A and B are shown apart, each in its own frame.
Chain A
Amino acid sequence: KAGVTQTPRYLIKTRGQQVTLSCSPISGHRSVSWYQQTPGQGLQFLFEYFSETQRNKGNFPGRFSGRQFSNSRSEMNVSTLELGDSALYLCVSSLDGKPGDLYGYTFGSGTRLTVV
């Protein structure tokens, strides 16, 4: 079966710009979570969407936002980009948001964002 698809794979943006990243979950999965991964901070949770509603939110500023569509595809947006936003952004697809093999908690390949 198809995996978790994230687009684009790589992105270079300038400070102050905004960016939109996309994630298509595994068919049948209704939960999409987003993480930011950097060498310094590791994997940090951004937010989780379930059935088009934001169900959980991490400790990131309001510049980071997201949404989920009726087909479960999700987008995250970062406005007014800062150099520190350079990171690997990973989305996770799962049946209901819970980790563990039973729930199919699967990471996408990620989008590598570089802010210059």
Chain B
Amino acid sequence: QKEVEQNSGPLSVPEGAIASLNCTYSDRGSQSFFWYRQYSGKSPELIMFIYSNGDKEDGRFTAQLNKASQYVSLLIRDSQPSDSATYLCAVIRSGGSYIPTFGRGTSLIVHP
């Protein structure tokens, strides 16, 4: 079982819709969770981070964390073609190291 799993996609949504990206992790003691966006040919950039159960909203983005079920999700409201990218989930596991473990990413395509 991979430590951090994401559906590779592509996830295709129409412009204006809500895109829902999911990530599951295996280490129940994981502490911190991050979502990165990576455009083709570019480096990852941080979108959101979340530490506590529940929802965290930032503009059109909402991160949701459920530690009991070991998943974290990213919702993108009013999706735009410019949101088309690969979204990487990263998790800091328990055990002292702060080095994040990344999922392989989900490709999102927002079509006009």
Contacts and interface: CB of A to CB of B under 8 A. Distances in A.
Interface of A: 33, 35, 41-45, 48, 56, 58, 90, 97-101, 105, 107-110
B77 interface: no
B65 to A, nearest CB: 14
B105 A99 contact: no
Interface string B69-94: 00000000000000000001010100
Nearest to B103: A42
Nearest to B92: A99
Contacts of B30: none
Given A42-B105, A100-B49, A108 B100 contact: no
A86 B92 CA distance: 27
Contact of B102 (A43, A98, A101, A109): A43
A33 B42 contact: no
Nearest to B49: A100
Given A97-B98, A100-B32, A107 B103 contact: no
Interface residues of B, number: 20
Contact of B99 (A33, A90, A108, A110): A33
Nearest to B90: A99
The 5 A-B residue pairs whose C-beta atoms are closest, nearest first, are A42-B104, A107-B43, A43-B102, A98-B98, A99-B100
A2 to B, nearest CB: 15
A107 B45 contact: yes
B43 A108 contact: yes
B43 A90 contact: yes
B34 interface: yes
A45 B90 CA distance: 12
Contacts of B102: 35, 42-44
Contact of A99 (B42, B49, B104): B49
A105 B46 contact: yes
Given A100-B32, A100-B49, A48 B43 contact: no
Contacts of B99: 33, 45, 48, 56, 58, 97
B43 A99 contact: no
B97 interface: yes
